[in-house]
Amino acid sequence: MKVLPLHHAAVNVVRFWLVCILFASSQRECLLWAQNTNANSTKTNQPLPSIADKTTTIDDITIAYKDEGRGQILLCLHAVGHSSKDFQSLYAGMPLDKVRVISLDFPEHGKSTRRNHAVSATYFRGIVQKFLEKLDLKNVVIIGNSIGGATAIKVAAGNPNIKGLALSNPGGLDARGMFAPMVLDGMINLFKRGANGESGFQQEFNNYYRDVLPSKEADARRTEICADAYQVAPMLVSAWESFKQDEEDVRPLIGKITCPVLFTWCMKDKYVQFERNLAAIQQFQEYQLVKYENLGHTPYVEQADVFIGDVLKFLESL
């Protein structure tokens, strides 16, 4: 085995524990949808469109967003360190005569205001709720990935204006265990190295994102995200520190989610693992589950055609 410097080895220890802390959860039959790219997906082979940004001001913060189409509103919330650019495939593959796709850049991300504000799903929840009110958006379906998924759950809890949720590997549902603090601290220390400008961080971040977005289809987006490694490192420190806080555990909100939920789960995710989230998934009142066996974290980036097809089926069921 290749001998790594200590800081590289520490990250591998974190990854080792992420695998080792898998535990057996009680199983029940879940609704699995077919993932046939020929029969059930919308083709997005055409070049991805460039959608002009719009802006609005919330709490003296400029929020950049994209807004195209008409009909059922899909509000798209990205992962930490990403941006609304993740959702380009939806603008290419969704029937925009029937679906209105809105994707925003969270504060500190993309073209929205950056003030080194601490980021968390709780903070983003307040921004998203005000965004919905300001644009007078009604009967919304939210697509949320990672911290965007946790934010979606917080927004939807007790909110009759949310018609449905499509959650991809959302944060905040993990069954916390004795090793969780060590794992979180390991990831925080990794990103602190980037925030401090350490020279070895770029390669380690590249390695990390080969785990996060492993598919060939995600190559271009992975390259873009990795190019900003040092820029996004501080917000990743902030986000991972927030994951240690009790208020970022969204499991107590599950009983307040009355709308249908579609889980689109990337099964190769080493950081938001399906087995550790299954017990929480099974507590939702009305849910459907799709498993993507070979994807890492963000299905609409990694296998857009299949994801779009599954979401369209979900919309038809509402």
Q: What pLDDT shows up at residue 50?
A: 80
Stated pTM of the model: 0.86
User: What is the pLDDT confidence band of residue 43, given thresholds at 50, 70 and 90?
Assistant: very low
Mean pLDDT across 175-187 = 87
H or E segment to which residue 79 belongs: none
What does the pLDDT read at residue 25?
Answer: 38
Contact 141, 74 (CB under 8 A): yes
Note the pLDDT of residue 42. 41
pLDDT at 13: 41
State the SS3 of 85-137: HHHHHHHHHCCCCCEEEEEECCCCCCCCCCCCCCCCHHHHHHHHHHHHHHCCC
pLDDT at 11 over 60: no
CB 143 within 8 A of CB 311: yes
Query: Mean pLDDT over all residues of the chain?
Result: 88
Indicate whether 208 pLDDT > 80.
Answer: yes
Q: Tell me which of 316 and 33 has the higher pLDDT.
A: 316
Q: Which of 109, 136, 135 is nearest to 123 (CA)?
A: 109
**DSSP code at position 164:** E
Residues 219-244 have pLDDT tens digits of 999 999 999 999 999 999 999 999 99
Domains contained in the chain, CATH given: 6-317 (3.40.50.1820)
pLDDT value at position 19?
A: 40
- Please report which confidence band the pLDDT of residue 46 belongs to, taking 50, 70 and 90 as the band edges: low
* pLDDT given for residue 178 in this prediction: 72
pLDDT recorded at residue 8: 46
The pLDDT of residue 212 is above 90: yes
CA angle 266–271–273, rounded 5-degree value: 55
